[in-house]
Structure 1
């Protein structure tokens, strides 16, 4: 004879699989977050590689006054277009078209100032609100190099070593790996991969509690010769199974997308292996259990499906707050982070993505913290359904 909770589990699972709305929502969130993260990173990669492939567009007014500068700009893959005299308004209009990254305007006295060894003025016009602003570093680098070359030549002409201009020589050593930069940059995005677990469990959790109460089928279930814990456990495990299936599919798709993207183009990498992903999925088993248990505990008191859905939707925002706030604070990884659901999973995945050696304690804390909260929610739901006040209100 099958256990009663298993009978309830199979009944709720069949009802969920017949619900096209629930399955559509599951498919939407399975694809939405991985595709969204992949699209954002793909756009960053395209922007980072576009200047090297296509060159940087630069309009120069008075280019004939500085032929050496024009040569250096072209050597850095900067496409120089000579322009005629333009007013300030015309330059602003040209930049707003986003056709060029910047406009250089050499003053009318540039040639005479250069020959007389006076500061020769060059105006650099750009739009900081434009996507082309990221190309300004290349242009400004050429201008600095050009100025240093002129200064060095003038010092040599006066018998002074150009090294006088650089009394301090700074050598930069970056110890950050591409994996650590990846985890820091997409730390918040990693948390998004676990948030849908709450959405996956929402529909079956609410429909099997508040929905049945609204349809007056809850009182029929409570009248059956079954323990309350069997009814609660069956509904809880059914909602958890749907959430777990969606979460595993989503993590697999996200991992495949991040493996496929050429992240090295933007100084990043994704070192997570399929074995590491499988381990993350096992540890994440407790998250769908907690999500379903919390939503059932909230929905059990609602008299209508809409009321339960609204209450559970607002409650889902609470676990999301640490996922967003903690990465913004740029805190070092600490043990307490593995005790907070969602944040624990985000932190664990981030550490694995960095290629860091993670001991067994983070895995145990991540799994155990969510499981403990899930059992507390199930215990509350069971106690609530046993109370006379609840039975009178069904």
Structure 2
């Protein structure tokens, strides 16, 4: 009994994949690029959290010139955990030099006539010196809030002393209720960053697609392959599956790493959260498989139509920008999420991940549309590439 032979496309797939994996530098570069974005994204978010919580960890230190002139103000500053440093009188260059050292958030200087003007119920000047280039914006706002509250309290006390209710200055009382959840705030802030997680689908298989088509044609090894007992669609399918495998692997790895990073970062420090679990990430990876296969199919088809290896690289480098266009257009036009977005490849994956990160119940239809929107064009593109492979003009690069 004769042993059962492998399908020709499977043999070509294994052969192409084996040759690609032999290129250690290329594979290493792909892995590096895939891992780089989630790591950089995690570092950026961690820096934002460090800046937001710096005042709680390090405290707020404020240099005050003439603190004895406003003891009530000094008491209010200390109640807000603001350390008041009694500082001797300084001129403007000395204040600038002190701020450049970065040890204090600002310098509060009370004018010489502060007590006189305060007693006479005239505006008492307080100077707040700060360095806007320093990363102490949140700490400075805490000081400004105390000054604003102190001014309001003094104004209310003076009105009461004259028999006027402070409520007359506030005819409208606004009460604010924020119904946004931590997850929705997270999606609003990092939604644009999440869209870049699908970029490996178009990058990881590009070099392999170019090398297995335009590259083999220039090396004349494609003629040897076409002389074998394999049909055109089998050759194209094998090469497409090889590039698609790399794209799927890179995309899946990036989504998993991004989930690990976002789950590890303490987003609650910024009033946000990452609501996806491993089951949700698995679903996102599954519906993203057709997107990676579509990217590989487009790259194979375009590289086949290029007349040289360099032309194929140039064309596909421009094509890398196309996946970002739908997301950029939607964000610039500030369009609300609609069902039609799930029918546009790449945009559907971005929209699905963004809505899931909000904690919204998405339903089965968006998953189905996201899968089909990329799966159907794959068949068309692979069929076109198979038809193109039959042409002698392609092999001869005419």
Instruction: Name the TM-score, length of structure 2 as normaliser.
Output: 0.94
Runs of at least 5 residues in structure 1 that lack an aligned partner in the other structure: none
**Which of residues 346, 356, 366 is equivalent to 1:352?**
356
Q: Distance in 2 between matches of 1:97 and 1:193?
A: 40
Residues 99, 130 of structure 2: 8 Å contact kept: yes
Contact kept in structure 1, 2:199 and 2:251, CA below 8 Å: no
The alignment yields a C-alpha RMSD, in angstroms, of 1.8
| Contact 2:304 2:394 (8 Å CA) reproduced | no
- Describe the shift of the 1:104–1:208 C-alpha distance in structure 2 as closer, same or farther (beyond 3 A): same
Q: Please give the per-residue CA displacement for 1:63-99, whole angstroms capped at 9, x wherever unaligned.
A: 2221211121121122222333333344344434433
Q: CA deviation at 1:5?
A: 0.8
Q: Deviations over 1:240-289 (max 9, x none)?
A: 11111121121111111111111111010011011111111110011110
The answer for the alignment partner of 2:82 in structure 1 is 78
Aligned mates of 2:106, 2:172 — CA distance in 1: 32
Aligned to 1:274: 278
Structure 1 residues 206-221: aligned runs within 5 Å: 206-221=210-225
Q: Could you say which residue in structure 2 is the equivalent of 1:378?
A: 382
Partner of 2:370: 366
Q: Is the 8 A contact 1:213 1:303 kept in 2?
A: no
CA contact (8 A) 1:65 1:110 kept: yes
CA contact (8 A) 2:55 2:138 kept: no
| Cα pair distance change 1:328/1:45, threshold 3 Å | farther
Match of 2:15 among 11, 24, 37: 11
Show structure 2 runs of 5+ residues with no match: none
Q: Is the 8 A contact 2:113 2:124 kept in 1?
A: yes
* Residue of structure 1 in register with 2:72 after alignment: 68
Structure 1 stretches of 4+ moved >4 Å: none
Q: What displacement does 1:224 show?
A: 2.1
The answer as to whether partners of 1:232 and 1:381 remain within 8 angstroms in 2 is: yes
Summarize the alignment of residues 283-294 of structure 1 with structure 2, pairs less than 5 Å apart: 283-294=287-298
Matched length: 394
Within the alignment, does 1:307 sit opposite 2:307 as a pair?
no
Which deviates the most, 178-187 or 288-297? 288-297
Question: Match of 1:33?
Answer: 37
Alpha-carbon contact 1:60-1:103 (below 8 Å) kept = yes
| 3-state SS, counterpart of residue 80 of structure 1 | strand
Q: Indicate the SS of the match to 2:204.
A: helix
Alignment of 1:39-54 (within 5 A): 39-54=43-58
Distance (Å, rounded) in 1 between the aligned partners of 2:349 and 2:297: 18
Say if 1:327 and 1:130 are closer, same or farther in 2 by CA, change over 3 A.
Answer: farther
Q: 1:367 and 1:128 mapped to 2: Cα distance?
A: 49
Per-residue CA deviations over 1:328-386 (Å, capped at 9, x if unaligned) read: 44321112222222221111011111111112221122111222232232222222222
Secondary structure at the aligned position of 2:322 is classed as helix
**What is the CA–CA distance in structure 2 between the aligned matches of 1:104 and 1:325, rounded to whole Å?**
47
Match of 1:120 in 2: 124
CA distance in 1, matches of 2:347, 2:64: 51
Measured after TM superposition, the shift of residue 103 of structure 1 is 2.4
Whether contact under 8 Å (1:30, 1:250) holds in the other structure is yes
Alignment of 1:85-96 (within 5 A): 85-96=89-100
